[in-house]
Structure 1
């Protein structure tokens, strides 16, 4: 895993990335098309909304990939990598798959590119990866939550093909908890329930934001993600008494994000959200009790909006097909919900658009 590769060459996140080639067949030798397809499948993203990855090939790909680091593959001519990444409002996310390589951020690099970031990563592929920083050496494997600060030199060595996913967080975003990221400490947290939950969240959040061609999460969702990661970092640094700033906010935004992603499933209900977030039905409803919409209404409204978009974009598609594709269990329910929202039925709405 080579986390530093995902940081930009300047403090501002998300500088546009340039793909070296376009064809999936070019991801040769170590990264076969089958391996890339399996990686995309593991990301768990709807293929209809899968973004287009950047590709990096050979010595040219090595130069295009690195930013503020020295990356040394075993054979530069055989270097292969694919990467999804995305700039959010305060952070950035990425999902990558690449050949074995050693990545170093030296003191000279830090002086030339003095940006200050916290890199939070997790992999799912087996393999030996070693991180050296602050005079210590640590080995980690699949599922381990890893924290690396760009403020001090480090070397990471991946012995095989690896698939890091994660977040890039400016240290300034951590606020009063910034010293947690800057102090020398063991960089790997893999022994607690919190660290395992955070690792799963990091992988899912990165895939849903970087690899999917969907709207970006809200700033509140980003802050909730940072808060969870900070809690795991505080636990790693043995800081007593740290508490999430607002776990209700985190669960609220997670529920909204689940509705956005899964409302097209006709079996998706508020109970599905409770199960996904490991909350009781009562706990979940308490989070939304002071809002202007119930969870059931939010799900129905999301389905109606998806149906409205399909009515406009697909003028010849039967209403029954649109109803099913939007997540409604019946056409009658779809018509009633649509008329309640827009004042006219879906057929009349389509006709008005055509006129």
Structure 2
């Protein structure tokens, strides 16, 4: 199926229909126009997308209002594009692909005309632990045998057209495995993964601190902090970020739960400290986020420097 539009409202509707709800801001050109050619391979949505300069934002407010639990892969064919998610800023060159997750804020920035193949899986159809996904997003992959095999498989899905039934489901599963295996080679080391997993399981533990983590993972404090030298956030900022992310999810999942209870559960000394940290990270208060009345577009504050469904 191919659809073309020549105005911003039509483009927003098309992107929401084919992918997920996004906030779209035009670039410096005369307006927004675009084309989407799409088909399905089992549960996997496959699309060839072309358009002009613009910014796509998946905000906390859109996530709260629309849900849409998807894992997406963008294979850039042409243009200068950048994906920001989970504290990383990734320039994605033509010929590279990158994973992004619609359950957390992201931003795609397109500097001019661009073309990208977009692959959209329902998250429950992807063979990956959701706790591992923040380590796999915004990591451009282009070189190496695994990347070349995965890219060839993605390209063939564009060329092949619709595939239904058991064969479509099998193809969608196998291609997801290939992509995640290739991206996983660029993810944090096994030792860092062990530390991140330990942290993830103890976000509601008030005794969680560098000394406890180092002792449990059989590391010196110096070695522990060295693991985070190339990480987008320091150890302390990562713990705070993951606690905020967990609390943010529970704000909408459990609307009757008092904000003060969430603040205490995730080890903030008092609700005002939690509210200040939440606003610093997402650009709105916990209460405004829960009720969908954010002021400005939320975006994570990044440790360094400081996402489309298309």
Q: What's 2:56 paired with?
A: 103
C-alpha separation in 2, matches of 1:185 and 1:168: 14
- Report the more deviating stretch, 103-112 or 214-223: 214-223
* Structure number with higher relative contact order (C-alpha < 8 Å, ≥ 6 residues apart): 2
- Report the more deviating stretch, 98-107 or 52-61: 52-61
- What CA deviation, in whole Å up to 9, does each residue of 1:90-145 have, x standing for no partner? 221111111111100011111111222111111222x3211112232121110111
Ranges in structure 2 where 5+ consecutive residues have no aligned partner: 191-310
For residue 226 of structure 1, the aligned residue among 168, 176, 200 is 176
C-alpha separation in 1, matches of 2:30 and 2:64: 29
Within-5 A mapping of 1:133-212: 133-183=85-135, 186-209=138-161
Q: What's 1:93 paired with?
A: 46
The answer to whether residue 34 in structure 2 is matched with residue 81 in structure 1 is: yes
Within-5 A mapping of 1:47-58: 52-58=1-7
Q: 1:74 to 1:169 in 2, by over 3 A?
A: same
Q: 1:238 to 1:143 in 2, by over 3 A?
A: same
Kept after mapping to 2: 8 A contact 1:134/1:184 = no
C-alpha separation in 1, matches of 2:48 and 2:170: 22
Deviation at 1:238, TM superposition (A): 4.5
For residue 12 of structure 2, the aligned residue among 55, 63, 73 is 63
Higher strand residue share: 2
Which TM-score applies when normalising by structure 2? 0.54
Q: 1:185 to 1:82 in 2, by over 3 A?
A: closer
Query: 3-state SS of the aligned residue for 1:189?
Result: coil
When Rg is computed on C-alpha atoms for both structures, the one with the higher figure is 1
- What CA deviation, in whole Å up to 9, does each residue of 1:50-109 have, x standing for no partner? xx5111111332332232110112268631111111234322111111111110001111
Within-5 A mapping of 1:329-344: none
Kept after mapping to 2: 8 A contact 1:90/1:173 = yes
Kept after mapping to 2: 8 A contact 1:124/1:164 = yes
Q: What's 1:5 paired with?
A: none
Kept after mapping to 1: 8 A contact 2:136/2:183 = no
Q: What's 1:112 paired with?
A: 65
C-alpha separation in 2, matches of 1:220 and 1:139: 31
C-alpha separation in 1, matches of 2:156 and 2:62: 31
Which TM-score applies when normalising by structure 1? 0.47
**Aligned-residue RMSD, C-alpha:** 2.5
C-alpha separation in 2, matches of 1:194 and 1:121: 16
Q: What's 1:305 paired with?
A: none
C-alpha separation in 1, matches of 2:171 and 2:85: 31
Q: What's 1:236 paired with?
A: 186
Q: 1:151 to 1:178 in 2, by over 3 A?
A: same
- What CA deviation, in whole Å up to 9, does each residue of 1:282-333 have, x standing for no partner? xxxxxxxxxxxxxxxxxxxxxxxxxxxxxxxxxxxxxxxxxxxxxxxxxxxx
C-alpha separation in 2, matches of 1:194 and 1:175: 17
Deviation at 1:182, TM superposition (A): 3.9
Kept after mapping to 2: 8 A contact 1:99/1:162 = yes
Kept after mapping to 2: 8 A contact 1:59/1:77 = no
Kept after mapping to 2: 8 A contact 1:151/1:182 = no
C-alpha separation in 1, matches of 2:23 and 2:40: 23
Deviation at 1:190, TM superposition (A): 2.4
Q: What's 2:25 paired with?
A: 72
